[in-house]
């Protein structure tokens, strides 16, 4: 299995690699901040895998918890049945749940991935509206350049037109205008000062469609996969207020921002804006076992679980909801986050991280740098007639030199594990800086 430029890798997803006309580069092992490539080189992980390995790789505590659980009980049905570890994990999640004390979103629904969490949250939102006598509210609003996974719900509310072009979408889905143009080329650290009024775009959609048709609005607090787009100050607050005014549920997709990425447990806490539902996955189990979870307010939970009969029209649940091994991984992961203080580590590292990333300003091809918490987006000018090609070349060069970065179009995204040290930031800057100087 060499790193060969051929496309016969039938076991990989068929489109995610096709666009680059090359077989994927192979990673064979991982420990701490580093991968080992199949040809034995150390590769610094600048992206925590895919925004998920927040506590770093190879955590023995997680591996042994999973082994213990699988030995004791490998699987238990999640319909009409439960198992203790699923409840133990839910209790632990309730303690750290997003939202202020007294109003935490401490009711949890387990899923198997981020995409499943998104579909689950969208369905809960519609079912909740119905349970409170608002059955006409079935429309879902997302945002341009939002990414919410690849389920039919996720692509419908998602703002990447290419991902949904050839598929039917949920009837009536619509999208807020994105916030990106405003902040572009401004080299902002943290939230842009201006632009909160972009949230008024929700009023436009309410006027267009009628509030009585809209169930929920879903946004990533910081859009990750489409290039680290950070909400202007006041934007999320405004969205919250407009949703409240019109009886629309607000959903934060925290699949990336959850579990410490911004220097708080959740973006909900970091921004101090509380939605009705929060979708998570990735860092929930440190990426070790696939799992997702939707956090819900008690208001929404109780209407469905204890509300009128029609609430039971929500049939929803997965074979692997609350999988015992995933719950075991999740509890061990929460132990690590707590014992190592990783939810606040991003806040401690933030100044060094921002300084390191913004020190790249002025290097060839860079047209913007955006940082928040332990995330960064570095935007490159596209090569003429070949969007994404330059960033892809930089990705290949960095990988050869021992750094894993993520490219999305012409934007480079970073999200290092939260166990990173300042020296890792220096290595990232040095390897990426050299690659940019070499890039055509």
Residue 256 sits in the site that holds ligand PMP (CB under 6 A): yes
In angstroms, what is the minimal distance from the CB of 220 to ligand PMP?
A: 5
Measured CA to CA, the distance from residue 320 to residue 392 in angstroms comes to 36
In angstroms, what is the minimal distance from the CB of 50 to ligand PMP?
A: 6
From the list 94-102, 107-115, 194-202, 382-390, the region that binds ligand PMP by CB under 6 A is: 107-115
Residue 174 sits in the site that holds ligand PMP (CB under 6 A): no
Measured CA to CA, the distance from residue 72 to residue 196 in angstroms comes to 52
Residue 259 sits in the site that holds ligand PMP (CB under 6 A): no
Residue 415 sits in the site that holds ligand PMP (CB under 6 A): no
From the list 83-91, 218-226, 390-398, 404-412, the region that binds ligand PMP by CB under 6 A is: 218-226
Q: Which of 49, 98, 114, 322 binds ligand PMP (CB under 6 A)?
A: 114
Which tokens go with 36? 């080992």
Q: Which of 86, 281, 357, 431 binds ligand PMP (CB under 6 A)?
A: 281
Closest to ligand PMP by CB, 225 or 393: 225
Closest to ligand PMP by CB, 52 or 356: 52
Using DSSP bridges, classify how beta strands 42-45 and 34-37 pair: parallel, antiparallel or unpaired: antiparallel
Residue 136-165 contact track with ligand PMP, rule CB under 6 A, x = bound? -----------xxx----------------
Identify the sign of the CA torsion 40, 46, 52, 58: positive
Angle between helices 389-401 and 422-438 (to 10 degrees): 130
> Which residues make Cβ contacts (< 8 Å) with residue 399, sequence separation at least 6?
25, 37, 43, 405
Which pairs with CB-CB distance under 8 Å and at least 24 residues apart come from 78-83?
Answer: 78/110, 78/317, 78/318, 78/319, 78/320, 78/321, 78/322, 79/317, 82/322, 83/322, 83/324
Measured CA to CA, the distance from residue 44 to residue 57 in angstroms comes to 11
In angstroms, what is the minimal distance from the CB of 255 to ligand PMP?
A: 4
In angstroms, what is the minimal distance from the CB of 307 to ligand PMP?
A: 28
Q: Which of 220, 368, 393, 397 binds ligand PMP (CB under 6 A)?
A: 220
Gyration radius of the chain over CA positions: 21
Q: Where are the beta strands (DSSP E) in 78-183?
A: 107-111, 139-143, 174-176
Residue 286 sits in the site that holds ligand PMP (CB under 6 A): no
Residue 54 sits in the site that holds ligand PMP (CB under 6 A): no
Closest to ligand PMP by CB, 154 or 232: 154
CB-CB contact of 39 with 399 (8 Å): no
Under the rule (CB under 6 A), what is the footprint of ligand PMP? 113-115, 118, 147-149, 220, 224-225, 253, 255-256, 281
């Amino acid at each position: 299995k060499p790193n060969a430029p051929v496309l016969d890798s039938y076991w990989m997803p068929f489109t995610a690699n096709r666009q680059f006309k090359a077989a994927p580069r192979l990673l064979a092992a991982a420990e701490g901040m580093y991968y080992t490539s199949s040809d034995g080189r150390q590769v610094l992980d600048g992206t925590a895998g895919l925004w998920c390995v927040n506590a770093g790789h190879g955590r023995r505590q997680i591996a042994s918890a999973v082994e213990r659980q699988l030995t004791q009980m490998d699987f238990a049905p999640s319909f009409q049945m439960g198992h203790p570890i699923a409840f133990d994990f839910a209790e632990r999640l309730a303690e750290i749940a997003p939202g202020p004390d007294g109003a935490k979103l401490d009711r949890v629904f387990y899923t198997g991935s981020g995409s499943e969490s998104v579909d689950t949250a969208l369905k809960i939102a519609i079912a909740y509206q119905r349970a409170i006598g608002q059955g006409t509210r079935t429309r879902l609003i997302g945002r341009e350049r939002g990414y919410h996974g690849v389920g039919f719900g996720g692509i419908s509310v998602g703002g990447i037109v290419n991902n949904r072009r050839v598929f039917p979408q949920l009837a009536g889905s619509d999208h807020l205008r994105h916030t990106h143009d405003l902040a572009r080329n401004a080299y902002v650290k943290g939230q842009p000062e201006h632009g909160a009024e972009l949230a008024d775009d929700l009023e436009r959609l309410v006027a267009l469609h009628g509030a009585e048709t809209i169930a929920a609005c879903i946004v990533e607090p910081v859009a990750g996969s489409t290039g680290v787009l950070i909400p202007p100050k006041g934007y999320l607050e405004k969205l919250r207020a407009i949703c409240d005014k019109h009886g629309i549920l607000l959903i934060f997709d925290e699949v990336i921002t959850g579990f410490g990425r911004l220097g708080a447990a959740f973006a909900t806490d970091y921004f101090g804006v509380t939605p009705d539902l929060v979708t998570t996955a990735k860092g929930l189990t440190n990426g070790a076992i696939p799992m997702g979870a939707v956090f819900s307010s008690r208001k929404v939970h109780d209407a469905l679980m204890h509300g009128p009969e029609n609430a039971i029209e929500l049939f929803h649940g997965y074979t692997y909801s609350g999988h015992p091994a995933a719950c075991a991984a999740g509890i061990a992961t929460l132990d690590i986050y707590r014992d190592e203080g990783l939810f606040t580590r991003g806040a401690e590292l933030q100044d060094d991280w921002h300084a390191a990333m913004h020190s790249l300003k002025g290097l060839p091809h860079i047209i913007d740098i955006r940082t928040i918490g332990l995330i960064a987006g570095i935007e490159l000018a596209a090569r003429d007639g070949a969007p994404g090609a330059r960033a892809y070349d930089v990705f290949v060069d960095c990988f050869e030199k021992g750094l894993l970065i993520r490219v999305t179009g012409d934007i480079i995204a970073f999200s290092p594990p939260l166990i990173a040290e300042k020296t890792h930031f220096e290595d990232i800057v040095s390897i990426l800086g050299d690659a940019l100087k070499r890039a055509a």
